[in-house]
Chain A
Amino acid sequence: MLPLLWLVPAIPFAGALTLAVLGPRMREKAAAVIGTGSIAVSAVISLFIAAAFLTAPPAAGAYTQTLWTWIDVGSFRPAIAFYLDALSLVMMTVVTFVSFLIHVYSAEFMRGDEGYSRFFAYMNLFVASMVTLLLADNLLLLYLGWEGVGLCSYLLIGFWYQDPANGLAGRKAFIVTRIGDTAMAVGLFLLFHNLGTLRIQDLMHAAQSQWPVGSAYAIAAAALLLGGAVGKSAQLPLQTWLPDAMAGPTPTSALIHAATMVTAGVYLIARTHVLFALAPPVQFAVAVVGAATLLMAGFSAATQNDIKRVLAYSTISQIGYMFLALGVGAWSAAIFHFMTHAFFKALLFLAAGIVIEALHHEHNIFRMGGLRNELPVAFWTFLIGGCALAGLPLITAGYYSKDLILWSAANSTAGGMGLWAAGMAGVVLTSLYTFRLIFLVFFGRLETAVSHRPGLAMTVPACVLAFLSIVGGFGKLPFEALLATALPQFREAGGGMSEALASAAAGLAFLAGLLAAWYAYLQNPSLARSAAANPAGRLLHRFWFSDWGMDWLYDRVFIRPVVWAASANKADVIDSIYDGLAGAAALCYRLLSATETGKLRWYAAWIAGGSVVTLAIVMWL
């Protein structure tokens, strides 16, 4: 089965190509079959590959498939080659499978949209890029996939391009992630310049043998890669694009924010974990970034009133958990949380999409309510997803993965109680904003009438994901055993917190958030309103609502000066040089054309004069 690996990215790519070329002439059904079918085939193949990998693991725990040499310039010879080990296997399987469910869902969700085939073309390309990114054998191919998902996210966020706001959101996502990508590109240059290769495995060996722990090169390379990861995974300080990215269709949000793109940064760090292990300050920075992001995004999520923006902030926050795990060296915990998060976040978006479509594209949660009985499937799946997100103890997948991260943060040699406390506060916040969302949307009075009921294509994927959101956590031990072949073991510091204590604390934090949400939004709804009404509360609310003023800050610090400089330089100083060149050329033209008199003797005289000058130059120079 393993030699079929190349088909996993190739089939979605072929699907994207087919849809891009023939899509406009296709009927919706044909486009849906091609778009969904290609991902289905891809998912089935990756499941078979996973089965083959698990039953008969390849030698050294990894399988490499080299297709051809991509570029051949001197010693720089990156290949189109795929590398499959436990890490990329998990990522690939989860990505293709969740993408498949989302595609099935979109086939119904997008029905009647004029860009139906275009949507599937983008989505297929997105999956193809993401799988390329995951399977890449060298960092250049990884970068190709990296930019591919960046491009597709831009296309999908701005999918409904008739509204300029959507285009603006797409551009914002593109530009902000580009900042991180630039850092990453510089990091690749640095790595290639110093270690002479971009093949990830060779690179890791070379780094380990050539760079001592804490060497400047390792720190610089790891920091630059972290820059790329921060941009793509929407962590501090480049997280501002993700909430705006909700402008895209809801399945897009599910695909970008759950299964694929935003976890690319997590994958990159896990993939290059050797570099981060060689640069302890950067690794600690990863943990701090994760902890700070999960807290900030948690506060912001608790104040939003757009259902999708709440989920967007929760995504940022959950990826913050993954970064925290990476930062404290709990590599497999991060990937485990990636997997469970992929299930429950995709589920939440799909359920939210059902709600949104049922209510005439209403996004405001204060105009929803009482949908518990109207949309039972959406309610139950959303409840399961929400519980998983908040970490309902013992039952849901999210609890196991998050618990593992929190325990690791407390017990890591690199971590500490500060990081653990931030994580715990995050659990309370997560629980609070999740149940706030659930209570406001599904409980209380019916605010808006339901106009549309979801079909099977929308409910079945949600149910499958709900199932996975529960059982996904039970596979913790075999999962860790599998990942141990690809990622280093977590190094536990002695004398830390016991596992039972950490679990109990996480459970209590969950309950605290749940109770707070219950009290403030169901039992005593005036409380939240009055808290938001007094001046301090209003200020705080506005501050958090606007994502801690980050957009405002960037607007003042970066955008305004650039816009000012651009408007001040309207005449374009640089361009005047080229205008001058053009003017000089025109002047020369006028001078030369003045010599064109039509008088033969003058022409001959010019020739003679020219030979005199040429001879003089030959003789005396």
Chain B
Amino acid sequence: MTIVFYTAGAVAIIATIMMLTRLDAVHALLHLIVSLLAVAVIFFVLGAPFVAALEVIIYAGAIMVLFVFVVMLLNLGAHAARAERALLTPSIWVGPAVLAAILLAEFIWLLASGNVPPSGAATIGPAEVGMALFGRYLIGVELASMLLLAGLVAAYHLGWRKIPQVEATHVSHP
């Protein structure tokens, strides 16, 4: 199990770094999917098989499909990749990297100073999660459903545009 964990963790980190450094959005997306799948494996290792499945189905499946659709709609070509390369100069990424490094250092310090036990107890299956979700967290579920509804309405509203306008932009931007 430990080997599986470290392997999956390494895959997740490397895939995320690869995602960050890609110039082409589709390539980045593929790396992101790999990263998410690796995290799903880690969930499984941590004794959360239900969440691991959801990670694969919803994150790596549904959400990423959304991204892919949008990338295809935008129809970004080779010139976009060239533009991205021009933007990725060291002067841009050094500062944020240092900031993030400090954040990570603080995080590790916290982990090291707190007495986090090295390992946990038993596997928690879907049944328990479901019991908790529709028991104590029922109001949270309702709120989440309202949030999703709001997201749906907002996405529809933002994505809706008049046909002539779409044609006009199409003509002006071959």
Residues on A facing B (Cβ under 8 Å):
605, 608-609, 611-612, 615-616, 619
Kindly provide the distance from the CB of B50 to the nearest chain A CB, expressed in whole angstroms.
30
**Assembly CA distance A615 to B100 (angstroms):** 13
**CB of B102 closer than 8 Å to a CB of A:** yes
> Within 8 Å CB of A609, what residues of B?
99
Contact, CB under 8 Å: A612 / B110? no
Contact, CB under 8 Å: A608 / B99? yes
A-B contact pairs, 20 of them (CB 8 A): A605-B95, A605-B96, A605-B99, A608-B96, A608-B99, A608-B100, A608-B103, A611-B103, A612-B99, A612-B102, A612-B103, A612-B106, A615-B103, A615-B107, A615-B110, A616-B106, A619-B106, A619-B109, A619-B110, A619-B113
Of chain A, the residue at the smallest CB distance from B113 is: A619
> Within 8 Å CB of A605, what residues of B?
95-96, 99
> Within 8 Å CB of A608, what residues of B?
96, 99-100, 103
> Within 8 Å CB of B110, what residues of A?
615, 619
**Assembly CA distance A611 to B110 (angstroms):** 14
> Within 8 Å CB of B99, what residues of A?
605, 608-609, 612
**Assembly CA distance A619 to B103 (angstroms):** 12
Of chain B, the residue at the smallest CB distance from A601 is: B96
Kindly provide the distance from the CB of A603 to the nearest chain B CB, expressed in whole angstroms.
13
Kindly provide the distance from the CB of B102 to the nearest chain A CB, expressed in whole angstroms.
5
User: When A and B form their complex, which 10 residue pairs have the shortest distance between CB atoms, in order from nearest?
Assistant: A615-B106, A612-B103, A612-B102, A608-B99, A619-B110, A609-B99, A616-B106, A619-B109, A619-B106, A608-B103
> Within 8 Å CB of A612, what residues of B?
99, 102-103, 106
> CB-CB contacts of B99-138 with A at 8 A, as 1s and 0s?
1101100110110010000000000000000000000000
**Assembly CA distance A608 to B102 (angstroms):** 10
**Assembly CA distance A615 to B102 (angstroms):** 10
Secondary structure class of chain B's binding surface, majority of residues: helix
**Assembly CA distance A612 to B102 (angstroms):** 7
**Assembly CA distance A612 to B110 (angstroms):** 12
Kindly provide the distance from the CB of A600 to the nearest chain B CB, expressed in whole angstroms.
13
Of chain A, the residue at the smallest CB distance from B103 is: A612
Kindly provide the distance from the CB of B113 to the nearest chain A CB, expressed in whole angstroms.
7
Which of B102, B106, B107 gathers most chain A CB within 10 Å?
Answer: B106
Of chain B, the residue at the smallest CB distance from A615 is: B106
> Within 8 Å CB of A615, what residues of B?
103, 106-107, 110
- Which B residues from 62 to 100 make CB contacts under 8 A with A? 95-96, 99-100
> Within 8 Å CB of B100, what residues of A?
608
Kindly provide the distance from the CB of B38 to the nearest chain A CB, expressed in whole angstroms.
24
Kindly provide the distance from the CB of A613 to the nearest chain B CB, expressed in whole angstroms.
10
**Assembly CA distance A619 to B107 (angstroms):** 10
> Within 8 Å CB of A616, what residues of B?
106
> Within 8 Å CB of B106, what residues of A?
612, 615-616, 619
Of chain B, the residue at the smallest CB distance from A611 is: B103
**Assembly CA distance A608 to B99 (angstroms):** 8
Of chain A, the residue at the smallest CB distance from B102 is: A612
> Within 8 Å CB of B109, what residues of A?
619
> Within 8 Å CB of B95, what residues of A?
605
**Assembly CA distance A605 to B98 (angstroms):** 11
**Assembly CA distance A612 to B106 (angstroms):** 8
**Assembly CA distance A457 to B113 (angstroms):** 96
Of chain B, the residue at the smallest CB distance from A604 is: B96
Kindly provide the distance from the CB of B56 to the nearest chain A CB, expressed in whole angstroms.
29
**Assembly CA distance A609 to B99 (angstroms):** 7
**Assembly CA distance A399 to B102 (angstroms):** 99
**Assembly CA distance A616 to B109 (angstroms):** 10
**Assembly CA distance A611 to B102 (angstroms):** 10
**Assembly CA distance A228 to B95 (angstroms):** 73
Of chain B, the residue at the smallest CB distance from A614 is: B106
**Assembly CA distance A612 to B105 (angstroms):** 10
Of chain B, the residue at the smallest CB distance from A609 is: B99
> Within 8 Å CB of B102, what residues of A?
612
**Assembly CA distance A612 to B107 (angstroms):** 9
Kindly provide the distance from the CB of A410 to the nearest chain B CB, expressed in whole angstroms.
91
**Assembly CA distance A108 to B107 (angstroms):** 91
Kindly provide the distance from the CB of B135 to the nearest chain A CB, expressed in whole angstroms.
33
**Assembly CA distance A615 to B106 (angstroms):** 7
Kindly provide the distance from the CB of A496 to the nearest chain B CB, expressed in whole angstroms.
92
**Assembly CA distance A605 to B103 (angstroms):** 12
Of chain B, the residue at the smallest CB distance from A616 is: B106
**Assembly CA distance A619 to B110 (angstroms):** 7
**Assembly CA distance A608 to B98 (angstroms):** 11
> Within 8 Å CB of B107, what residues of A?
615
Kindly provide the distance from the CB of A346 to the nearest chain B CB, expressed in whole angstroms.
77
With A608-B96, A611-B103 known, 11 other A-B pairs at CB within 8 A are A605-B95, A605-B96, A608-B103, A609-B99, A612-B99, A612-B102, A612-B106, A615-B103, A615-B106, A619-B106, A619-B110
> Within 8 Å CB of A619, what residues of B?
106, 109-110, 113
> Within 8 Å CB of A611, what residues of B?
103
Of chain B, the residue at the smallest CB distance from A618 is: B110
> CB-CB contacts of B147-166 with A at 8 A, as 1s and 0s?
00000000000000000000
Kindly provide the distance from the CB of A606 to the nearest chain B CB, expressed in whole angstroms.
10
**Assembly CA distance A611 to B104 (angstroms):** 11
Which of A609, A615, A616 gathers most chain B CB within 10 Å?
Answer: A615
Kindly provide the distance from the CB of A616 to the nearest chain B CB, expressed in whole angstroms.
6
**Assembly CA distance A608 to B107 (angstroms):** 13
Kindly provide the distance from the CB of B101 to the nearest chain A CB, expressed in whole angstroms.
10
**Assembly CA distance A611 to B106 (angstroms):** 10
